[in-house]
Amino acid sequence: MTYPLPAPRPQVGQPIRDLSTPLPLIDETKLEANIARVQSYMDGHGIAFRPHIKTHKIPAIAARQVAAGAKGINCQKITEAEVFADAGFEDLLITFNILGSEKHKRLVDLNTRISGLKVVADSEITVRGLSCAFSQSRPLTVLVECDTGGGRCGVQSPEAAIALAEMIAAAPGLTFGGILTYPKADSEDAVEAFFAATIAGLSARGIPCPIVSNGGTPSLFSAHKVTTATEHRAGTYVYNDRAMARSGHCSLDDCAMHILATVVSRPTPDRAILDAGSKALTSDLLGFSDYGMIVDYPEAVISGLSEEHGTVDLSKVSGRRPEIGDKVRIIPNHTCVVSNLFGIMTFHRDGFVTRVEEVAARGLVW
């Protein structure tokens, strides 16, 4: 025996019920169905589709999404984009206001390596910084981010979007690439109104607007109502989770990610303790009052988490209750943040491990 021991790693062909826990698992069949269902919808409505890799952070999954028909990918950080550029992806949108000399330097490097790099901006400060960093010979494509009601980043009106687009179009080293929003769910009318007014103003000024980018999983199947959009971006759809099922986007049966956990203690008749805590499930509630759904015991409530323990209230469980050593599968409230906690992701089909992928773009500094 030589030390350190290799990190524990599931083996292809192993039954998932034998795997050591806690461990997130992806069901290949559900994954494939999620990719196919959304791409088919986008194809049917003539909307270009750009999956957000934040959910999986695995180049092999993005390759499946592109093979199914996605036009390119969406990243949230330069370090994520670098990983996917290294893996051969060319059409790559980073939906972030990028500031600072260190990040600008890496962004310039990245723009020399791939043909389709794009970023967003929502302020003159961000645009001026990018313009100073980039050269006329290899300009960067910049989209204007619009706040259509989502309440995060973005210019606040079509007039402001038009003004910032004019600035980008005139800025040395930059190319105006279009407009973008990260909307709240079920706000297609607001997005359409904002986009239409912006596009009309740009058109009146003779500024082409090649990309009109809408986004989000929860109301993804209403994306066709935004007739001005040329593309849609979504991440969570690829795995799905409890919050997406609640939103109506999918059913609980469409959730491809389960966290496999073991009951490690049964201190009282009504209490079970799992080996999955906030370092496996995260504390994301997303409006729920508990920390995930136990598939095998839907009446059980994960009422509290410490870092490596989950406390389960069994008081409403009729019939058999889980015993020490039993393994259970949990649908997380939010799948994207679970991916970020694990160095590897284990895939299975019909209960047997098919592959183990590195979560290559996980946990990078920025």
Site for a second copy in 307-326 (CB under 8 A): 307-309, 311, 323-325
Give the shortest CB-69-to-a second copy separation in angstroms: 25
Q: In the range 274-293, which residues lie near a second copy by CB under 8 A? A: 275, 278-279, 282-285
Give percent helix, percent strand, percent coil of the chain, each to the nearest 5.
35, 25, 40
Asked if 142 contacts 118 with a C-beta cutoff of 8 angstroms, the reply is: yes
Give the shortest CB-344-to-a second copy separation in angstroms: 7
Q: Between 213 and 282, name the residue whose CB sits nearer to a second copy.
A: 282
Choices 27-35, 93-101, 185-193, 207-215 (CB under 8 A): range interacting with a second copy:
93-101
Question: What is the C-alpha separation between 143 and 141, in angstroms, rounded?
Answer: 7
Sheet of 73-75, strands arranged across: 48-51, 231-234, 211-215, 174-181, 140-146, 116-121, 91-97, 73-75
Q: In the range 31-50, which residues lie near a second copy by CB under 8 A? A: none
Among 100, 208, 298, 351, binds a second copy (CB under 8 A): 100
Among 9, 17, 205, 316, binds a second copy (CB under 8 A): 9
Say how many residues touch a second copy, by CB under 8 A. Answer: 75
Q: Does 233 bind a second copy (CB under 8 A)?
A: no
Q: How far apart are the first and last CA of the chain?
A: 37
Q: Does 268 bind a second copy (CB under 8 A)?
A: yes
CA 298 to chain CA centroid, Å, is 26
Q: Does 54 bind a second copy (CB under 8 A)?
A: yes
DSSP 155: B
Q: Does 4 bind a second copy (CB under 8 A)?
A: yes
Q: Between 9 and 205, name the residue whose CB sits nearer to a second copy.
A: 9
Question: What is the C-alpha separation between 117 and 81, in angstroms, rounded?
Answer: 9
Q: Does 265 bind a second copy (CB under 8 A)?
A: yes
Asked if 171 contacts 207 with a C-beta cutoff of 8 angstroms, the reply is: no
Asked if 27 contacts 348 with a C-beta cutoff of 8 angstroms, the reply is: yes
Choices 26-34, 191-199, 213-221, 300-308 (CB under 8 A): range interacting with a second copy:
300-308
Among 1, 46, 289, 319, binds a second copy (CB under 8 A): 1
Please write down the long-range contacts of 338-343, taking CB distance under 8 Å and 24 or more positions apart.
338/24, 338/257, 338/259, 338/280, 338/281, 338/282, 339/24, 339/55, 339/56, 339/57, 339/239, 340/57, 341/279, 341/280, 341/282, 342/23, 342/24, 343/7
Q: Does 198 bind a second copy (CB under 8 A)?
A: no
Instruction: Compose the 126-165 pattern: x for residues touching a second copy by CB under 8 A, - for all others.
Output: x--x-----------------x---xxxxxx---------
Q: Does 5 bind a second copy (CB under 8 A)?
A: yes
Give the shortest CB-89-to-a second copy separation in angstroms: 13
Among 43, 90, 109, 270, binds a second copy (CB under 8 A): 109
Among 90, 102, 159, 189, binds a second copy (CB under 8 A): 102
Asked if 63 contacts 90 with a C-beta cutoff of 8 angstroms, the reply is: no
CA neighbor of 233 nearest in space, from 180, 280, 196: 180
Return the residue matching tokens 């089909």.
349
Give the shortest CB-156-to-a second copy separation in angstroms: 6
Question: What is the C-alpha separation between 155 and 255, in angstroms, rounded?
Answer: 34
Q: Between 17 and 316, name the residue whose CB sits nearer to a second copy.
A: 17
Length of the chain in terms of residues written = 366
Give the shortest CB-289-to-a second copy separation in angstroms: 13
